[in-house]
Amino acid sequence: DIHMTQSPSTLSASVGDRVTITCRASQSISDWLAWYQQKPGKAPNLLIYKTSNLKSGVPSRFSGSGSGTEFTLTISSLQPDDLATYYCQQYSAYPRTFGQGTKVEVK
């Protein structure tokens, strides 16, 4: 199985800060990576697919990059609405696997 590791597990940042979340795969997944945002008490929502493709309607302050085994999700200017847990997911192989999540708190 491909293991996905996110860091940090929790981060606290101020409104307007640039925030970066890292996701590492235990083996190469090319660019078969998605990012999801899950707000408290809600279902996950897709933010980015195939590493860097922003889903329609997602604010442009979100961006993704990487390839192979190392990937990043960046929020260019953190907003109060971005309070959520963020998950990466690989779809290079079965079983599909998720990172453990990164909880973003807004100071």
Q: Where are the alpha helices (DSSP H) in the chain?
A: none
Nearest approach, Cβ of residue 100 and other proteins (Å):
5
Q: Is 22 in the site for other proteins (CB under 8 A)?
A: no
Contacts with other proteins, 25-44, as mask; x by CB under 8 A: -------x-x-x-x----xx
Among 19, 66, 89, 104, which residue interacts with other proteins (rule: CB under 8 A)?
89
Strand order in the sheet with 4-7: 4-7, 19-25, 70-75, 62-67
- Return d(Cα 98, Cα 34) in angstroms, integer: 9
The nearer residue to other proteins, 20 or 92, going by C-beta atoms, is: 92
Radius of gyration of the CA atoms of the chain, in A? 13
Task: List the structure tokens of 79.
Answer: 């907003």
Q: Is 96 in the site for other proteins (CB under 8 A)?
A: yes
**Per rule CB under 8 A, count of chain residues that contact other proteins:** 22
